[in-house]
Structure 1
Amino acid sequence: MYIIETYSWAVACAVITMICWGSWPNARKLGRSTWRFELFYWDYVMGVLLVSSVMALTWGAHGTQGRNIWDDLQLANTSALLSAAAGGVIFNAGNILFMAAIAFAGLAVAFPVGAGLAMVLGILVNYIAVPAGSPYFLFGGMVCIVLAILLSAAAYRRQAQQLNKPPLKGILLAISAGILFGFFYRFIAASMATDFSNPQPGLLTPYTAVLFFAIGTVVSNLLFNTLLMYRPLEGKPVRYSDYFSGSLRDHFSGWLGGAIWGLGISLSILCAGKVGYAVSFGLGQCNAMIAAIWGVFVWKEFKNAPAGTNRLLYGMFACYMMGILLIIGAREN
């Protein structure tokens, strides 16, 4: 299989993860505006599975290092496979709760609560489990990124035409999503060997782990998304037959969005073998900066924002950059 051997290449892959995780929602814009999210989401999880399978059958099946996916599957313990799949179930539940939080409380509340909590929990949990990197740089970067998320929320609040007190339900949903996001990565990491080049029998290589993570996401979607279809957050219930009324463009938007996110998780897990899980997850969670770049510079979401909003945005980008540099600098000597 192919593994990452240098710190610089690992950091580059983590940055690509950040770009993927911050860019995939743009694929939603390729489909019709009337194409329901519940239907989009079926194609999204299939896109994640597709990319995970391609990565496993190419990079994971060839090369002279580590263990190829076929040998990995033969030697894998059931507990390791279930742990990776559980990561997919937890992520999927968190992702749907996060969408619900946005619907009830708005982006300005859901994002800092959900993403901020996920950032803090994810770095803490993964660093405690595998303490790789300088804690001063790592946690300093975490603080900068949390501050950036708060500045982003303040900018969205100023942009809003009417600011109503967010309902408690929305805040609780965002907290629940953040907790799940903070823990899903650890389940994938726990299923894998500590040394990718000489993996222990029974534990998984990155490609097998991500593949079973994707399988867990797809299988759990049969329950989670079905419930969402029949009990939608907004609008009328959706039927399975409605999925087949979509155009190729509608379905492609979901496949592309899932493929982009799936590439991100594959590279994130792969580079964790060199930089550590806490650093890899922390850099990936800077995806909000990429999403903000799309919103500010491409979609012009703040074009008519009130005076003073630009200062918040500049401060947000400055904090993100400082946080990214500190996390990259967490490298152990």
Structure 2
Amino acid sequence: MFIVSDYNTAVIFCFITMICWGSWANTQKISQKGWRFELFYWDYVLGILIFSLLSAFTLGSMGDQGRPFLTDIAQTSGSNIGNALLSGVLFNLANILLTAAIAAAGMSVAFPIGIGIALVAGVFFNYMIQQKGDPTLLFIGVGLVTLAIVLNAIAFKKHKGASEKAGIGKWIIISVIAGFLMSSFYPFLASGMDLENFQQPAAGKMTPYSAFVVFAVGILLSNIVFNSILMKKPLEGKPLSYREYFGGSFSYHLIGILGGSIWGLGNILNLIAAGKAGPAISYGLGQGATLIAALWGVLVWKEFKGADGKVNSLLLAMFLCFIAGLGLIIWSGS
């Protein structure tokens, strides 16, 4: 299978992860006017599963290093498979809530709050799994990211009028819940892999490719429950039927699958990078997706259009804190 052999390549992979994880939500934004997020989400999940299988049977099955996918999955212990499935369930619940918040509150609000919280809590949890990197630099970096989240919330509060604040409060709370749930999925996924040796993984442990497939299956199975409930009792809007999903245009379905594939590309690169960078650093850099999503929201979707000078100054400070924080996270592992 394909593996990363040095830290610098691992960091590059984490930056690609950051771009992918911060950009997939654009596919939901593109289709949201004519296609509810609950309907979009079915195809998004299919996109993740399809990409996990493609990566497992290509990069995960070629070369002389590590175990090929089918050999690896056959020897994986039940407990490690269970952890990867649970990881998929936790991620899916968090991501459904986050996707709903993006649809209602926008990328530049829901993403920095939800994923920012996921970054802060997730780095701490993942550092407990494998203490790799300088903890002082790592947690100062995380502190700067936390400050960026606070600045984003203040900027949003100043920009929106009182009438909008009342309605948006629910989605900020949902973003916070999604963030804490999102922080918990990666440790379960990482615990099933042999992060010390991808070349010759320990018996019962998984390669990143096998872990991703099992994780994606967990997302799919839980989605049958979570999204079905959400269609009948939506957080906003009228209930939906499966008939509406199957009656959707091919382009809508394709956009959802594309969104899942973009996220999946980021995920597999992040898991591969974790072997050299460590789970805390690889996860922390990947969740720098917050910065990418905020840039999309501000520059492309114009979610802060018409903001005054004070709001723009807060947004600039937010971006600078994110950049400085991510820089320290990278430095902590070098």
Deviations 1:110-146 (A, max 9, x none): 5555333322210111101110011011111101111
Query: Offset of 1:26 from its aligned partner?
Result: 0.7
The CA RMSD over aligned residues, in Å, is 2.1
SS of the residue aligned with 1:164?
helix
* One-letter amino acid of the counterpart of residue 243, structure 1: Y
Query: Offset of 1:308 from its aligned partner?
Result: 1.6
Structure 1 CA distance for aligned equivalents of residues 106 and 6 of structure 2: 41
* One-letter amino acid of the counterpart of residue 93, structure 1: L
| Correspondence for 2:165 | 164
Structure 1 CA distance for aligned equivalents of residues 289 and 166 of structure 2: 27
CA contact (8 A) 2:119 2:284 kept: yes
Structure 2 CA distance for aligned equivalents of residues 287 and 112 of structure 1: 9
* One-letter amino acid of the counterpart of residue 165, structure 2: N
Structure 2 CA distance for aligned equivalents of residues 281 and 166 of structure 1: 32
Query: Offset of 1:186 from its aligned partner?
Result: 0.5
| Correspondence for 2:120 | 120
1:68 to 2:68 alignment: yes
Structure 2 CA distance for aligned equivalents of residues 172 and 300 of structure 1: 23
Deviations 1:124-179 (A, max 9, x none): 11101110011011111101111112222222223213353578865654443222
Query: Offset of 1:15 from its aligned partner?
Result: 0.5
Query: Offset of 1:263 from its aligned partner?
Result: 0.9
Structure 2 CA distance for aligned equivalents of residues 300 and 176 of structure 1: 26
Q: 102-111 or 242-251, which moves further after superposition?
A: 102-111
SS of the residue aligned with 1:301?
coil
* One-letter amino acid of the counterpart of residue 54, structure 1: L
| Correspondence for 1:10 | 10
| Correspondence for 1:21 | 21
Deviations 1:232-277 (A, max 9, x none): 1112111111111111111111011111111111111110000000
Alignment of 1:1-333 (within 5 A): 1-31=1-31, 33-100=33-100, 111=111, 113-162=113-162, 163-165=164-166, 173-194=174-195, 195-331=197-333
Query: Offset of 1:95 from its aligned partner?
Result: 1.5
Q: 75-84 or 11-20, which moves further after superposition?
A: 75-84
Query: Offset of 1:19 from its aligned partner?
Result: 0.5
Structure 1 CA distance for aligned equivalents of residues 25 and 113 of structure 2: 19
Query: Offset of 1:81 from its aligned partner?
Result: 1.2
CA contact (8 A) 2:84 2:211 kept: yes
Q: 233-242 or 293-302, which moves further after superposition?
A: 293-302
Q: 90-99 or 110-119, which moves further after superposition?
A: 110-119
SS of the residue aligned with 2:24?
helix
Structure 2 CA distance for aligned equivalents of residues 289 and 112 of structure 1: 7
Structure 1 CA distance for aligned equivalents of residues 43 and 207 of structure 2: 26
SS of the residue aligned with 2:333?
coil
Tell me: CA distance 1:199–1:269, structure 2 relative to 1, closer, same or farther (3 Å).
Answer: same
Structure 2 CA distance for aligned equivalents of residues 79 and 304 of structure 1: 53
Structure 2 CA distance for aligned equivalents of residues 300 and 167 of structure 1: 17
TM-score in terms of structure 2 length: 0.93
CA contact (8 A) 1:31 1:251 kept: no
Tell me: CA distance 1:44–1:100, structure 2 relative to 1, closer, same or farther (3 Å).
Answer: closer
Q: 288-297 or 41-50, which moves further after superposition?
A: 288-297
Query: Offset of 1:219 from its aligned partner?
Result: 0.7
CA contact (8 A) 2:192 2:206 kept: yes
* One-letter amino acid of the counterpart of residue 22, structure 1: G
Structure 2 CA distance for aligned equivalents of residues 134 and 27 of structure 1: 37
Query: Offset of 1:304 from its aligned partner?
Result: 1.1
SS of the residue aligned with 1:308?
helix
CA contact (8 A) 1:2 1:62 kept: yes
TM-score in terms of structure 1 length: 0.93
Q: Using the aligned pairs only, state the percent identity.
A: 47
* One-letter amino acid of the counterpart of residue 320, structure 2: A
Consecutive unaligned residues of structure 1, counting only runs of 5 or more, are none
Structure 2 CA distance for aligned equivalents of residues 247 and 115 of structure 1: 31
CA contact (8 A) 1:104 1:169 kept: no
**Number of aligned positions between the proteins:** 332
Structure 1 CA distance for aligned equivalents of residues 251 and 156 of structure 2: 30
* One-letter amino acid of the counterpart of residue 139, structure 2: F
CA contact (8 A) 2:37 2:103 kept: no
* One-letter amino acid of the counterpart of residue 212, structure 2: V
Deviations 1:295-319 (A, max 9, x none): 2222233331123222112111111
CA contact (8 A) 1:108 1:154 kept: no
